[in-house]
Amino acid sequence: MELFAVMRSEAFTLWEQAALWSVLGVAVLGLLYAGFLTVEMLRHDTGTDQMRRISRAIRLGANAYLNRQFRAILFLILILAGLLYFTAGEQHIALGRACAFLMGSIFSATVGFIGMNMAVQGNVRVAAASRTSFARALKIAYRTGTITGMLTDGLGLLGGTLIFMIYGEQAYEVLLGFGFGGTLLALFMRVGGGIYTKAADVGADLVGKLEQGMPEDDPRNAATIADNVGDNVGDCAGMAADIFESYEVTIVSAMILGWASFGHKGVIFPLLVRAVGVLSSIVGTYLVRTSEQARAAMHAIHKGYVVSAAVSIIGFCLIGFYYLRFPDQGLLAGWVTLGIDGLDMRPVWTTLVGIALAVAINYLTDYFTAPEKSPVQFVARSTQTGHATTIIAGLAVGYESSVWAILVIAAAVFASCLIYAGTNPTYIAYGVAMCGIGMLTLTGNNISMDVFGPVSDNANGIGEMARLEPKARQTLADLDACGNTTKAITKGIAIGSAVIAAVSLFNAYITDIAKVLQISYADVASMLSISEPMVFIGFLIGGAVPFLFSALTIRAVGRAAFLIVHEVRQQIRDPRIMAGTKDPDYERVVSICTQEAQRELIGPGLLAVLAPLVVGLVLHKEALGGFLAGIILAGQLLAVFMANAGGAWDNAKKFIEDGHYGGKGSEAHKASITGDTVGDPLKDTAGPALNPLIKVMNMVSLLIVPFVIRAESPGGWLWVVVLASVAVLGWAVLQSKRESPAMRKWSAEAVAGQPVEA
Amino acid sequence: MELFAVMRSEAFTLWEQAALWSVLGVAVLGLLYAGFLTVEMLRHDTGTDQMRRISRAIRLGANAYLNRQFRAILFLILILAGLLYFTAGEQHIALGRACAFLMGSIFSATVGFIGMNMAVQGNVRVAAASRTSFARALKIAYRTGTITGMLTDGLGLLGGTLIFMIYGEQAYEVLLGFGFGGTLLALFMRVGGGIYTKAADVGADLVGKLEQGMPEDDPRNAATIADNVGDNVGDCAGMAADIFESYEVTIVSAMILGWASFGHKGVIFPLLVRAVGVLSSIVGTYLVRTSEQARAAMHAIHKGYVVSAAVSIIGFCLIGFYYLRFPDQGLLAGWVTLGIDGLDMRPVWTTLVGIALAVAINYLTDYFTAPEKSPVQFVARSTQTGHATTIIAGLAVGYESSVWAILVIAAAVFASCLIYAGTNPTYIAYGVAMCGIGMLTLTGNNISMDVFGPVSDNANGIGEMARLEPKARQTLADLDACGNTTKAITKGIAIGSAVIAAVSLFNAYITDIAKVLQISYADVASMLSISEPMVFIGFLIGGAVPFLFSALTIRAVGRAAFLIVHEVRQQIRDPRIMAGTKDPDYERVVSICTQEAQRELIGPGLLAVLAPLVVGLVLHKEALGGFLAGIILAGQLLAVFMANAGGAWDNAKKFIEDGHYGGKGSEAHKASITGDTVGDPLKDTAGPALNPLIKVMNMVSLLIVPFVIRAESPGGWLWVVVLASVAVLGWAVLQSKRESPAMRKWSAEAVAGQPVEA
């Protein structure tokens, strides 16, 4: 094959070729395993006609949304691919970069699309299985998630490995294209899906639970189907694309930095580590099962995780022994030199730091959001003094949680500094990147656990709407409760890995500048001193970006929810709907959600791409460096705050619903619903979307920095680009803040004295 | 006088001596004017016996609180003074630094103490005057604020000028001591006062307004007196100490950087500018008056402000012409060289940038918090869909507002870069510092406007409790509404100036390191590159500090409010209190507030002092540099978010109370009260306290950096200091999070099934 010409040249030894082909084989194995699980899942029973009808409504709504979203961003993706093609220097690289960009976005979209479709196929099968067997229901729900997990692992590893095999030492820019495509698409999926799911959820809860006292998923609530669709487009499609992107960007950054520091060995080692992760996820996820008597869902899932982790750690050490010291001399040499001078196990230690970091972040997430721990207890207790103190308590818990999360991340970076003490910053950055590799080793398990959440949530919803028998309902409720716990975990890991990846990419930014200007790394570093006023200005502006982004997305949810509340309230006025003799018009709410989520997509997307461009062109490369640092810091702090404050409110509500402080229907319960509702757009829209945002901006900066440096001796065209970008950016922000005519009309009526009854 | 030996030596020209004595004269003039206004104010009538009784209760509560607070921190202040004395090198400087530290803290305390006492004397006189004359009531309320304003101007200018006159070119460390003392005390006043005022306010509103439907300041509400005491200890004492500290730190940083860049001229110019500001504030504030027919309070206050600004701008330009070019050749030479080559007006332009920045920040604050503008309209509209959407809308508005505020500040720094383009970073930093000087020129007017708020608020409260006649009540309500607008302005300026001052102090940090290590500025700058992993680690940790601090203070308010709600609910069970035949026990609530606010003081104070020490000793000077940058960024973003989200909720509530969306008593109104209550601890406790926090940490870092550098070759003692600091810090944080026994008992009962009725 001509494609692999680079690889078969002198540059790669036979051992290296074998290693790369093995990694590719493992990636394909992961995909085959996903296929196997899909076939297995689809064979299960789909229940009664009514269940199938409900499931079909959810599936149609979800697919209609995704199709519309893909069409909306297709144009932008094609323009960017063209720009990437025409702005690269060499023809060979230009083509590769544009194709890799398309590949990254298609992979990300595919993971989201398939992941979601598996979830909507899985939910009804879980509901059907719950009528006969707890064990089978658990297995279907969990393995539905594993399909997405394996797809993520497989495609992420496949893309990175292929690019390296084809481009060899020229892979740098192509890898950037791959990473950029994946993150950009994930950003769109997160923003669109996040707005959709939370607008539907908030709208459904406000009218259904708070005003009418209906239970969750009551079929009389017109927003019920939209709410279930939202779980799929947000928690499945958006989340899967996002984790794919995290998985992909950590591998891209490790490969880029590995090449810069250690050549081939620095690139192949992280690929081998990832391959071990895929194998251990297959083993661990396969083992997740429980007996009909034990009904121990959480225990089974946890056991699978521990097995995978153990397999991984042993695997890493073996690869370290065998590969890092004597990659060319086969197995035996590795054994012999074990413990002998010159064996460099430092990359292994940094991956283990990554695993430790994942464990620490999981612990913190659990501490700040688990119902029995003191932060949630504090929030729950505050519900007794009303809505306001509930919110205040949640804010305090959220702010505190981001402190500890950032300290843990700082400690991981510090560990990398200690491991590579006395070497140069590039080595340390490689260590940080390997820490990201370690953190996301068990992505297969993480996604299984995460998708398990919305699948069992939806299955429970179908059970409720199809009025299944009590035993099945109990099984579904148990699985749903377990899913609420497991799905909290991935979010913390995703945002933590974003910071780790961004910190390592930041180093690539400096290497990039050094290459373009043909000066030393140290010279570039000294340009980026925080004592430079321009760096500080960029830094202030960068810090503002996550705040602007959050303001836009939160506002979007608030606005869409407002419209849905209006719609549901109007439908509920029909007495036949409340009596249960007529189905509400679910379709209308689904269509409002789709429309509103679409409208908001373009603004944040343009912000992510254009803001670094404007900062770079107007304020130059120093400010752009500060800008990236500011985004990382503010983004991390806000994202963790949002995730954990939201989680704490959510679980405080559940704690009260378990009968404490007066239980369901009490004033305390109402206050806790307010907390949960406020937390929704924070924890499921703005917060998670900050994760791809941080990385998109880093990727864009890496791609444009040669252009930015050339633009420092400005011509007339520069100002044209700047002004056009600013104009588009301004339009996008205003567009995001604009209110729909229906909303304006309604609020004008309200001001004029016709308040909508609450 | 031996004291001024330095000044009379060769170092200062006669012109310089004259300039400095003039500045000192203006400072004293400001203080005399404050004295004159005090005598004038105290001469006014104090109304009926009942009014005097209420006013006395507020005064006693407020003074009891301040006395207790001063006693609590006295010990810490003395220890720090001792440490400052024993860790400085030269005996002469050591004594100066310790004394300046004490002077700074005493000045700050004095401004707070006197400011508050004037307010509690003024409020009853305003209430009494309202019975006969609107014009007189306005004049008394406004001038009560001017007393504090002039005290701030006078003492700030006096301290800085005296230190320079005594120490000349050795003033650096002494000025740092002065700045540190002022900021540290302001931090305590802000934290303690902020917790007090908001605990009382939230507690009073939750039971009074929300549960019982009482109006504000209803005498049957046991928290009423505490609420009014809180307005004084928070909005008067805390605010005054804080603004004093901002005024002082901007002058300190301008003097330090002025000396480093331009020698004498660089120091004397900002002092002269400030003197002009004092004179223009005297003129402008004296002109604030209205006629009995017009009742145009806002117009009069605004007119005074414009006059002051005009006088200042003209004054700055004149000083530029006369002083900057030919300080030694008298007036005529200045005229002659006007416009001639060599006249360096750049420092004047940077002060004008400062005035422009103040105007821009005022505009932004107004835009995001004024009832008629679209952000507050958005929040108000969101109240129709309930508590949760109200909060979501306010969060979105707050996040967005911090974006624009930080962009404006970045633009001001950028303007300084442009004005000093082509020079070195020290000049630019001086430009930034002069921008801070410009921003706070009209501190006299700002404080007058700010104190006017709580004074008229209290007067209105006294009017309500003493059941004054309707005409007087209308006058007081009008003044109160006007005060709500004027008092919002200072907060934005204070936090903006904190960032400006911190950015300029940051430069002093680098100069400091260069001096200790005896290397060039550029070498130090290159150590502080954001590409250095240690800088990045410091940076992450620094960003976490404002979040931790906010979590602790918000939590403290929530906890104290919880206790007050409990107390007020219990008292209200007595039917005689609700019937108005028996006064509630105000004293108990006052004492709960005092106790809780005290308990919370030490934690944040220790955090501010010890965190930089631990970071510096463990992670070294590079990390400490990153740490400062992280604090500035996260602190600014959070502080503006909190101030404006709080302001928007507050005014959305007022908008609804004006009869929109169903007006008082509607569901929308209840939701708006929730928003206002959530905003209270954000905008009046955590947010404003971040302002001194940022600067305290900068000051501490500047003071400890020589010690940190020496500690990089560590001995055993180092780890003793580190471990002790970490232990104290951990204790402080835990102490801040601890719950009182009463609270634990109550919530244990609630969990056991005896929920307190809401």
Q: Cβ contact (<8 Å) for B522 and A526?
A: yes
Which residues does chain B have within 8 Å of residue A526's beta carbon, measured at their own beta carbons?
522, 525-526, 529
Q: Choose the mutation target among A531, A620, A627 for the interface with B, i.e. most B CBs under 10 Å.
A: A531
Residue pairs spanning A and B at CB distance below 8 A:
308
Mean pLDDT computed over every residue of chain A:
86
Residues of A100-131 as b/e, b for ≥16 C-beta within 10 angstroms?
bbbbbbbbbbbbbbbbbbbbbbbbbbbbbbbb
pLDDT at B732 over 70: yes
- The Cα B190–Cα B690 span in angstroms is 9
Average pLDDT of A685-690? 92
With CB atoms and an 8 Å threshold, state whether B391 touches A668.
Answer: no
Phi, psi of A82 (to 5 degrees): -60, -45
For residue B259, the model assigns a pLDDT of 86
Q: Is the pLDDT of residue B292 over 90?
A: no
Confidence band of B290 (pLDDT split at 50, 70, 90): confident
pLDDT band at A336 (very low <50, low <70, confident <90, very high): very low
pLDDT digits (tens, 9 = 90+) for B258-289: 888 888 888 999 999 999 999 999 999 999 98
Mean pLDDT of B78-95: 87
Query: At residue B752, does pLDDT exceed 60?
Result: no
Distance CA B1, CA B15 (A): 19
B533: left (phi over 0), alpha (psi -120 to 50) or beta: alpha
Nearest by CB to residue A525, choosing from B382, B386, B531, is: B531
Q: Please compute, for residue B402, the number of CA atoms within 13 A of its CA located in the half-sphere on the CB side.
A: 34
B551 vs A403, A527, A755: nearest CB = A403
Q: Say if residue B90 is exposed, middle or buried (CB neighbours under 10 Å; 0-12, 13-18, 19+).
A: exposed
Q: Which of B389, B390, B618, B632 should one mutate to test binding to chain A, selecting the residue with the greatest count of A CBs within 10 A?
A: B389
Q: Are A316 and A276 in contact (CB under 8 A)?
A: yes
Asked if pLDDT for residue A104 goes beyond 90, the answer is yes
A614 neighbors A722 (Cβ within 8 angstroms): yes
Rounded to a whole number of angstroms, the distance from the CA of B677 to the nearest CA of chain A is: 6
Residue A749 CB-half CA count within 13 A: 10
Mention every residue, 6+ apart, whose C-beta is less than 8 A from residue B215.
Answer: B209, B464
pLDDT at residue number B561: 84
Average pLDDT over residues A171-195: 92
Q: Do A530 and B626 touch (CB under 8 A)?
A: yes
Mutation for B interface: A523, A535, A540, A627, most B CBs within 10 A = A540
Tens-digit pLDDT profile for residues A427-436: 888 999 999 9
Residues of A in contact with B406 (CB under 8 A): 540-541, 543-544
pLDDT of res. A713: 66
Q: Residue A755 — pLDDT band, cuts 50, 70, 90?
A: very low
Question: What ipTM was estimated for this complex?
Answer: 0.91
Query: Sorting pLDDT into bands at 50, 70 and 90, what band is A521?
Result: confident
What's A237's DSSP letter?
I
What's residue B60's pLDDT? 87
Q: Are residues A554 and A546 in contact, defined by beta-carbon separation less than 8 angstroms?
A: no
The pLDDT confidence band at residue B727, using thresholds 50, 70 and 90, is confident
CB–CB of A636 and B432 under 8 A?
no
pLDDT over 90 for what percent of chain A?
41
Predicted confidence at residue A741, as pLDDT, reads 66
Contact B153, B30 (CB under 8 A): yes
| Residue B5: per-residue pLDDT | 73
In angstroms and rounded to an integer, the radius of gyration of the C-alpha atoms of chain A is 25
Q: What is the pLDDT of residue A746?
A: 60
Closest Cβ opposite residue B637 in set A510, A522, A547: A547
The reported pLDDT for the residue numbered B415 is 92
d(CA B541, CA B537): 6
Q: Is the distance from CB of A694 to CB of A502 less than 8 angstroms?
A: yes
**With contact defined as beta carbons under 8 Å apart, do B532 and A425 qualify?**
yes
Assess whether pLDDT exceeds 60 at residue B192: yes
Least confident of A340-349, A589-598, B630-639: A340-349
By the 8 A CB rule, do A660 and B569 touch?
no
Residue B545, pLDDT score: 94
pLDDT of residue B555: 87
d(C-alpha A88, C-alpha A97), whole Å: 8
Listing DSSP states for A71-128 in one string gives HHHHHHHHHHHHHHHHHSSSHHHHHHHHHHHHHHHHHHHHHHHHHHHHHHHHHHHHHH
Comparing alpha-carbon positions, the chain B residue that sits nearest to A543 is: B633
Percentage of chain B lying above the pLDDT 90 cut:
42
Q: Residue B328's pLDDT is what? A: 46
Closest CB to B755 among A416, A666, A673? A666
Please give the structure tokens belonging to residue A228.
């279930």
Total Cβ atoms within 10 A of residue A519 = 12
> Which position has the higher pLDDT, A424 or B162?
B162
**pLDDT level of residue A156 (50, 70, 90 thresholds):** very high
Higher pLDDT, A343 or A670: A670
- The residues near B241 (Cβ < 8 Å, ≥ 6 apart) are B108, B109, B111, B112, B115, B185, B186, B189, B190
Highest average pLDDT, of A100-109, A444-453, A456-465, A610-619, comes from: A100-109
pLDDT at B742 over 80: no
**Measured between alpha carbons, how far is A409 from A684 in angstroms, rounded to an integer?**
22
Interval A515-533 mean pLDDT: 86
State the pLDDT at residue B354: 93
pLDDT in tens, B668-689: 999 999 999 999 999 999 999 9
A416·B533 Cβ contact <8 A: yes
Q: Which pair of structure tokens corresponds to residue B739? A: 């719950």
Of B503, B534, B545, the CB nearest to A417: B534
pLDDT at residue number B748 = 62
Task: Name the residue of chain B whose CA is nearest to A410's CA.
Answer: B537
Choose the weakest-confidence range: A164-173, A594-603, B696-705.
A594-603
Residue A241 token pair: 């694309």
> Residue A754 burial (CB < 10 Å; 0-12/13-18/19+)?
exposed
> Which residue type sits at B723?
L
* Residue A751: pLDDT over 70: no
Q: Which of A41-55, A158-172, A596-610 has the lowest mean pLDDT?
A: A596-610
Q: How far apart are CA B704 and CA B512, in angstroms?
A: 10
**C-beta separation of A679 from A672 below 8 A:** no
User: Tokens 């983004």 correspond to what residue?
Assistant: A635
Task: With a cut of 60, say whether residue B370 has pLDDT above it.
Answer: yes
Whose tokens are 């700058």? That residue is: B525
Looking at per-residue pLDDT, the higher value among B9 and A306 belongs to: A306
What is the spatial distance between Cα A135 and Cα A145, in angstroms, rounded to a whole number? 16
* Residue with token string 């460099």: A344
pLDDT at residue B177, rounded to an integer: 93
Residue B50 structure tokens: 């009942």
Residue A250 pLDDT exceeds 80: yes
Cα–Cα distance, B158 to B271 (Å, whole number)? 10
Helix (H, G, I), strand (E, B) or coil at A500: helix
**Which H or E element spans position B488?**
helix B470-517
Structure confidence at residue B481 as a pLDDT band (50, 70, 90): confident
Cα(A311)–Cα(B704) distance, integer angstroms:
48
The whole-number average pLDDT for the span A146-160 is 95
CA angle, residues B236, B237, B238, in degrees to nearest 5:
95
pLDDT over 90 (residue A283):
yes
Confidence class of residue B400 from pLDDT cuts 50, 70 and 90? very high
Query: Whole-angstrom Cα distance, residue A632 to residue A642?
Result: 15
Q: Return the SS3 of B298.
A: helix
Predicted confidence at residue A169, as pLDDT, reads 81
Q: How far apart are CA B495 and CA B472, in angstroms?
A: 36
Lowest mean pLDDT among A222-231, A297-306, A627-636, B721-730: B721-730
pLDDT above 70 for A309: yes
The per-residue pLDDT for A465 is 83
Distance from CA of A37 to the nearest CA of B (A): 41
DSSP A267-308: HHHHHHHHHHHHHHHHHHHHT----TTT--HHHHHHHHHHHH
